[in-house]
Structure 1
Amino acid sequence: MSHKEIDRLEMIQAVANKHLRQAEAAQRLGLSVRQVKRLVRRYRAHGATGLRSGHGGRRPNNAIAKAVRQEV
């Protein structure tokens, strides 16, 4: 997990454990309260892995093909 994802996990854990309000977490993370609610729901359902980005490890759509990179 990246540092950003670890910070997000700590905030969402605090909200899930009722140590922090959703509005405060939203402000600190730069998200809306609605998005924090979604993250808390995913955290409760899937744990820490639910907060990871779904795009991790994938090649970007606009990446240059290997053959073209080698040619250049």
Structure 2
Amino acid sequence: MSDKKKDTKKDFKKNKAMLAYGVIQLGSAVVSAVALVAIALSFCSLKKESKFFNECVEEMKATGSPTSDAVRFCTGG
């Protein structure tokens, strides 16, 4: 009877450890997914900013400014 209690305690500890491992694994997967979404959203805003900058440079070049002056103007310099 004593051996059976020890075995059930070991099984309970093992099950508890496996449950904790599973929760940690799931939690890290969720954190990774959230980080990837944040990176993707930052790329979207970067794309919009790049498009705006390119349009600004093209507009300045159309007025007859050299490329370096157009870039300087569009970056705020």
The normalised TM-score by structure 1 is 0.28
In terms of Rg, which structure is larger? 2
The structure whose RCO (Cα within 8 Å, separation 6+) is larger is 1
Richer in helix (by share): 2
